[in-house]
């Protein structure tokens, strides 16, 4: 999937169908001069229904069509015939979609299961025909109910990527390279910042035909939670990851400080993100010799007392097997 096809935020306008009118009709037949009322009911207006689809990975289907209208119910007719219900409209969304009211920003629902269906807007009820209003004192009612009008609503749909592990790091930390080595994903890789403009997902194959999903979240910079850079657009995806893998390059000026900045951005965006399991991977260690790594371990042991860390190199394939073992253990503890 190309970056241009990854859509994780859309606004849509929805309209459910109007209910059909009840019929005002008096039965007329040869030899039956006063057949009485036999007007049928109007049909229900169509619902607007959202449905989860595990085969979808993006909200691309809503990029060009932003208005969805359900069908109107048909009017009732003679012989107590009810009108047909309006056609329902189904909105197929990927798993992990959060639906909000565009005006109040209230979260209305989340879709997390395949084929899960929820009604966003109910269609208007059909009106009852005059057959329902006959009484002993009013045997020929000449009135019926009108159908109820449908509803309108503006919604925001946000996709939060469902992945087991989320890669967190500054631009050029090597996240895309690691993803390309661990999985079959082919993210764009270059030497300039913000190469990755959209989240990339890949499936990591583990031992005994087991696997887990890892997501490369676009680069976060200091101030991302306040809207700087691109990271603030994608922090929502981290909420769905059960484990966070912090990737910090070995040539960073201050590894501990860089980790604290990343941690602080997550804290400002959503403090609950700090409750997730964390693992720090020092990347690009193929540039270091054993003596330098030993010196770095002494400092890192002081700074990272409560968080496990390890040295890896995506290019030189150093520590990747151990990395998968660690992640699998954290996901299945």
Measured over the CA atoms of residue 115, residue 117, residue 123 and residue 129, the dihedral's sign is: positive
Find the mean pLDDT for residues 32-59: 91
Q: Is 198 annotated as a binding residue?
A: yes
SS3 175: helix
DSSP-based three-state secondary structure for 30: coil
Statement: 1-160 belongs to CATH 2.70.210.12 = yes
pLDDT score recorded for residue 49: 97
Report pLDDT digits (tens) over 116-157: 999 999 999 999 999 999 998 898 899 999 999 999 999 999
Is 298 known to sit in a ligand binding site? Answer: no
Q: Is pLDDT above 60 for 287? A: yes
Is 195 marked as binding a ligand?
yes
CB-based contact 47:140 (threshold 8 Å):
no
Secondary structure E strands in the chain: 9-15, 48-52, 67-69, 89-93, 97-101, 107-111, 117-121, 152-159, 165-168, 200-205, 211-216, 243-249, 277-283, 309-311
Q: What would you report as the CA-atom Rg of the chain, rounded to the nearest whole angstrom?
A: 29
- What pLDDT sits at residue 147? 95
Residue 284: Cβ-neighbour burial (10 angstroms; 0-12, 13-18, 19+): buried
Domain positions in the chain: 1-160, 165-332
Q: Which residue has the higher pLDDT, 217 or 187?
A: 217
| 246 close to 280: Cβ distance less than 8 angstroms | yes
Which residues in 231-243 are b (16+ Cβ under 10 Å) and which e? bbbbbbbbbbbeb
Residue 204 annotated as part of some ligand binding site: no
Given a cut of 50, is residue 190 above it in pLDDT? Answer: no
Judge if 1-160 and 165-332 fold alike in CATH terms: no
200 is in an annotated binding site: no
Does the annotation list 315 as a binding residue?
yes
Where b means 16+ CB within 10 Å and e means fewer, 31-46 reads eeeeeebbbbbbbbbb
CATH architecture of 165-332: 3-Layer(aba) Sandwich (3.40)
H helices of the chain, where? 175-182, 235-238, 255-269, 290-303, 320-331
| pLDDT recorded at residue 305 | 87
Say whether 314 counts as a known binding-site residue: yes
State the pLDDT at residue 2.
42
Q: What is the pLDDT of residue 223?
A: 55
Work out the percent of the chain whose per-residue pLDDT is above 90: 51
Question: Token pair of 155, please?
Answer: 């919604």
Q: Has 284 been labeled as part of a binding site?
A: yes
Q: What mean pLDDT, rounded, does the chain reach?
A: 86
Q: What are 194-218's pLDDT values in tens digits?
A: 445 567 778 888 988 888 888 887 7
pLDDT band at 96 (very low <50, low <70, confident <90, very high): confident
> pTM, whole model, 2 decimals?
0.70
171 is annotated as contributing to ligand binding: yes
Helices 175-182 and 320-331: angle between axes, nearest 10 degrees: 90
216-262 pLDDT, tens digit each: 877 565 554 455 444 445 667 777 788 999 999 998 889 999 999 88
């Amino acid at each position: 999937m190309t970056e241009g096809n990854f859509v994780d935020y859309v606004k849509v306008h929805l309209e459910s169908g109007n209910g059909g009118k009840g019929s005002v009709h008096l039965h007329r037949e040869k030899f039956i001069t006063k057949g009485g009322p036999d007007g049928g009911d109007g049909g229900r207006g169509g619902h607007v229904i959202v449905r989860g689809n595990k085969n979808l990975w993006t909200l691309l289907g809503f990029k060009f069509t932003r208005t969805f209208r359900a069908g109107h119910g048909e009017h009732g007719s003679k012989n107590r015939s009810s009108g047909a219900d309006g056609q329902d409209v189904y909105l197929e969304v990927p798993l992990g979609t959060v639906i909000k009211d565009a005006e109040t920003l209230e979260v209305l629902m989340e879709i997390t299961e395949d084929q899960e269906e929820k009604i966003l807007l109910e269609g208007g009820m059909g009106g009852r025909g005059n057959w329902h209003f006959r009484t002993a004192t009013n045997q020929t009612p000449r009135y019926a109910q009108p159908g109820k009008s449908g509803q309108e609503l503006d919604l925001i749909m946000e996709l939060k990527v469902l992945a087991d592990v989320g890669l967190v790091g500054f631009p050029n930390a090597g996240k895309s390279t690691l993803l390309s080595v661990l999985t079959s994903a082919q993210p764009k890789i270059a030497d300039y910042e913000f190469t990755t403009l959209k989240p990339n997902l890949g499936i990591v194959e583990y031992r005994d035909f087991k696997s887990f999903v890892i997501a490369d979240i676009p680069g976060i910079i200091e101030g991302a939670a306040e809207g700087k850079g691109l990271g603030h657009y994608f922090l929502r995806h981290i909420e769905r990851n059960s484990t966070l893998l912090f990737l910090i390059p070995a040539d960073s000026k201050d590894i501990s400080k860089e980790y604290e900045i990343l941690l602080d951005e997550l804290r400002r965006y959503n403090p609950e993100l700090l409750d997730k399991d964390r693992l720090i991977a020092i990347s690009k260690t193929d540039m270091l010799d054993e003596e330098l790594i030993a010196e770095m371990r002494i400092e890192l042991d002081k700074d990272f007392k409560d968080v496990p860390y390890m040295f890896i190199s995506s290019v030189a394939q150093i520590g990747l097997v151990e990395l998968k073992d660690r992640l699998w253990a954290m996901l299945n503890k």
